[in-house]
Amino acid sequence: MSPIFLKRLSVLFIAPAILLTFAATDNSNFSGDWTLNESKSDMGQFANFVPRKIKVDQKTDSITISKTSSGFNGEDVTQTETLSYDGKDTESTIFENSKRKAKAQWSDDGKTLTITFTLMLDFNGQVTEVTGTEKLALGDDGKTLILQSNSTSSFGDNGYKGVYEK
């Protein structure tokens, strides 16, 4: 093969890779340890159960979120789940025997991560379905993490906005 042919062939493969690099969305990075600022938050009717601390480990293809809140007996309870960005449901167990299915999706601009979930709360065999969304975004030029959560169940509609600081 001639050097000119090889050069043209390499341009054919390299040019698309460069274009894809520039076309990729630059997603917000939520990684870090975050603490709830109650005075900036709107915690709603279930304020006792709003996560007080959130730890986020964000990777290129997935995100791990650990939320620490008060349990039913006042003790700290930490729930951790890892979600991929491929749109597939991830199932996890919370509160000992309740199941949560969730999936994560980035907004087109890469600024907001929306987690859609279905939670099957099991209280001694009595199962209640909770459906909802959680939206993560950065505020104050990246100094705060904003978690907007909305859910619907037989308990009614519930929502809160937590503002977290590093």
Q: Domain 26-165 is classified in which CATH homologous superfamily?
A: Calycin beta-barrel core domain (2.40.128.20)
63 in Cβ contact with 83 (< 8 Å): yes
Helix (H, G, I), strand (E, B) or coil at 28: coil
Least confident of 32-46, 50-64, 82-96: 82-96
What pTM, to 2 d.p., does this model score? 0.81
pLDDT digits (tens, 9 = 90+) for 107-143: 999 999 999 999 998 888 899 999 999 999 999 999 9
Q: Comparing C-alpha atoms, which of 136, 149, 155 is closest to residue 32? A: 136
Q: Comparing C-alpha atoms, which of 114, 93, 87, 89 is closest to residue 102? A: 89
Q: Which residues contact 93 (CB under 8 A, 6 or more apart)?
A: 99, 100
Percent of the chain with pLDDT over 70: 85
Task: Dig out the tokens for 80 from the structure.
Answer: 């951790």
Identity of the residue numbered 107:
S
> Average pLDDT, stretch 9-38?
65
Domain locations in the chain?
A: 26-165
